[in-house]
Structure 1
Amino acid sequence: MVPTVNYAIWTLTSLLLLGGLVGSVVPLLPGTTLIFAGALLHKLLLPASVSTAAVVWIGVFWLFSVVADFACTLLGARLFGGSKWGMTGAGGGALVGMFFSLPALLLGTILGAVAAEKLLGQRTDREALKSGLGAALGFLVSTVVRAAFAVAMVALFAYSAITIAAAAR
């Protein structure tokens, strides 16, 4: 393949991986999805430069990160006594908040859970606030888990690419 094309592919891959790392903690960027897309695209365009096993494992990590992302927020609300209304409100509040900023996302999660618990779940102020704080704690845990998966995915890609490049020399 022409060296310029190789550089372009590596540049695109690097941008997707870096964007994915940023997106793992910043709202509106699909962090681990960008990383998986970058690894998969790279494998399709330069098949010999990264192992198939690495890309498969990156895909598995991506799937786990998506499941963990949703599960942590919902379980946080549930563990703090939230009802289905609180969990639904937390999700809706997070959805609205993510269009603004990370603090708005966190605040939206809390306010959504509290409002839904109060209005639809007929909960006391204390119960609603507890559910909202649980949802926020779950969201923070999901952010840490998502970031850890993102770092692991990029590290696995880099390890595979470096190992293959070193073996080729």
Structure 2
Amino acid sequence: MLVLYCILVLVMLVGIIGAVVPAIPGSSLILGAILVWGVVNGFTEIGWALGTAIAVLLLSVGVDFLSAYLGAQQAGASRWGQIGAIIGFIVGFFGLLPALPLGGPLLGIIVGPLLGAMIGEFLYRKDLEFNARIKLAFRAAIGIVVGTLVGNLIQGILALACVIVFLVTTWPF
């Protein structure tokens, strides 16, 4: 029983990392580990942990979308910039950027949205001269990326809180 508990706590630690680092499961991994512990123990003493994990999972989804949106809005990004960032994320993670010798998908999910947002904004701002388009595109791209990074940090804090609630409510089982 102790071995399983330790393994599940390690899985939850990976979930905390995943809440901060995109492309690694985060809150859902933590929720899954809590559910496994609940199944093994007949769902006794995990009420708070399970409720917290479900709330954190729902909040994480909201934080993810809201942080990128607010970052884009603060920087003055258009829908084109936001769509470009999404496409850049997908291309960065699954496309050519993972083939880079250093960084792989992690570098791709940072550089991809930045380049995607810049390209989207650059294409949208056709009414401005070239230098002004570049400045606006760069500012919008930075806003989207910073918003996303702040959102990931908030998700990491939420995931850490969820694991702490699990440990406090189940230790010593």
TM-score for both structures, normalised by structure 2: 0.81
Contact 1:54 1:157 in 2 (8 A): yes
- TM-superposed CA distance for 1:78, in Å, is 1.7
Unpaired runs of at least 5, structure 2: 95-103
The one-letter code matched in structure 2 to 1:39 is: I
SS at match of 1:36: helix
Separation in 1, partners of 2:48, 2:163? 14
The one-letter code matched in structure 1 to 2:37 is: H
Unpaired runs of at least 5, structure 1: 1-5
Contact 1:78 1:87 in 2 (8 A): no
Aligned match of 1:96 in 86, 91, 97? 91
Counterparts of residues 5-84 of structure 1 (less than 5 Å): 6-7=1-2, 9-47=4-42, 50-84=45-79
- TM-superposed CA distance for 1:38, in Å, is 0.8
Contact 1:17 1:38 in 2 (8 A): yes
Any idea what the Cα deviations from partners look like across 1:85-114, whole Å, max 9, x if unmatched?
111111221233345343332221211111
Aligned match of 1:109 in 97, 107, 113? 113
1:81 to 1:71, Cα distance in 2 relative to 1, 3 A: same
- TM-superposed CA distance for 1:12, in Å, is 4.0
- TM-superposed CA distance for 1:8, in Å, is 5.1
- Count residues with an aligned counterpart: 159
Contact 1:27 1:101 in 2 (8 A): no
Q: Is 1:143 aligned to 2:138, yes or no?
A: no
The one-letter code matched in structure 2 to 1:138 is: G
Separation in 2, partners of 1:98, 1:67? 22
In the other structure, the counterpart of 1:3 is none
In the other structure, the counterpart of 1:134 is 143
- TM-superposed CA distance for 1:147, in Å, is 0.9
CA RMSD of aligned residues (A): 2.0
Separation in 2, partners of 1:111, 1:43? 44
TM-score for both structures, normalised by structure 1: 0.83
SS at match of 1:47: coil
Percent identity over the alignment is 30
SS at match of 1:112: helix
